[in-house]
Amino acid sequence: MTYNNPLHPPIKNVQCSPFSALGSAVTNNSAHSGFISPQRRRLPQATYTPNSKWRSATGRLNQVYAPIIFDYIGYTRQGVPMQELGSRSTYALAHMITGANDLVFAHTGLQRFTLRIMWPGYSHIEWARSIEVNANGPMTRAQLGGILAMNFARFLEKIRGEVTTAPEWRISSNGIRFDHVVLVGLHNVFEDVWQADVAIDLR
C-alpha cells in the first residue's frame, strides 16, 4: 500500500539515487538496516578526508567507482564474515559468494588503491595500506575479500589492548573479535582511497 504525503510532491523512482556513500551508510550506531540477523549492525566509521586543506579543497570528494559488494549466493547486502574470506580458498569462495570471479577493478583502470580503516574509538591509530590491483593478474572479488580480511585481521591484532574512546566498539578477547567482523562492501571515498563497509555480528 502506498502512502502519499499531501505536503510534498511524490518522489519518482528516477529521482532516487542508487548511490550509498560509506559515510551515510555506516554512521547510524543502531543501524540493523536490512540485515536478516538481529545481532548484526553496521560499524559507524568516519569517512576518510585528507588532513591537507589544499587536498580537501582540490581533491575529488565524490565517488567515481561503484561500491564492490560482498554477499553469499542468494543473499543481498548481508555481507560475508571476514573469517570466511580469510580462511577459504578462492575455489571454495567461488561456490559461496556472489560474483566471486568477477574482475572487480577491471573497469577502473586503477593500478593500486589505498585501504583506510577508521575504527570508532581508535582515531589515534592510522591504518593506510597501498594494495596493488594487478599484482598476480586482474583481481577477483574473492581475492579482494581475502586481502581485506587479512588487513582487518592485522589491524585488529595491532589495536588489541589500545585505549578506546568508544567502549561499545572495543577490540578485545571479551569484546569485538575478528570472527565478529562481516564485510559488506568496499567504497571509494576520496581519489584512490577506499574504505570497507563493515558490520559486527556478535552471534
Q: How confident is the model at residue 19 (pLDDT cuts 50, 70, 90)?
A: very low
Residue 2 lies in a domain: no
Residue 186: phi and psi, rounded to 5, are -130, 125
Q: Is residue 168 assigned to a domain?
A: yes
Q: Which domain holds residue 36?
A: 13-201
pLDDT band at 52 (very low <50, low <70, confident <90, very high): low
What pLDDT is recorded for position 63? Answer: 56
The larger pLDDT score, comparing residue 193 to residue 13, is at: 193
> Do residues 195 and 116 make contact, with C-beta atoms less than 8 angstroms apart?
yes
> Looking at the domain assignment, is residue 4 inside a domain?
no
Per residue in 106-144, pLDDT tens?
A: 988 899 999 999 999 999 999 999 999 987 788 999 999
More confident residue, 164 or 19: 164
Q: Which stretch of 49-58, 147-156, 158-167 has the lowest confidence by average pLDDT? A: 49-58
Mean pLDDT estimate for the chain: 83
User: Among 60, 83, 16, which Cα is nearest to 193's?
Assistant: 60
Residue with cell 572479488: 141
Reported as a pLDDT band with limits 50, 70 and 90, residue 50 is: confident
State the burial class of residue 8 (Cβ atoms within 10 Å of its Cβ: 0-12, 13-18, 19+).
exposed
DSSP 112: E
Report the pLDDT value the prediction gives residue 177, as an integer from 0 to 100: 96
How confident is the model over 68-79, as a mean pLDDT? 96
**Over residues 48-77, mean pLDDT:** 76
Q: Tell me whether residue 37 is in a domain.
A: yes
The per-residue b/e assignment along 148-157, b for 16 or more CB within 10 angstroms, e otherwise, is bbebbeebbe
Collapsed DSSP state (helix, strand, coil) of residue 174: coil
Number of domains in the chain: 1
Inside any domain, residue 3:
no
d(CA 58, CA 55): 5
Pick the more confident residue, 191 or 103.
Answer: 103
C-alpha cell at 53: 586543506
**pTM score, two decimals?**
0.81
Does residue 2 surpass a pLDDT of 90? no
pLDDT tier at 23 (50, 70, 90 boundaries)? very low
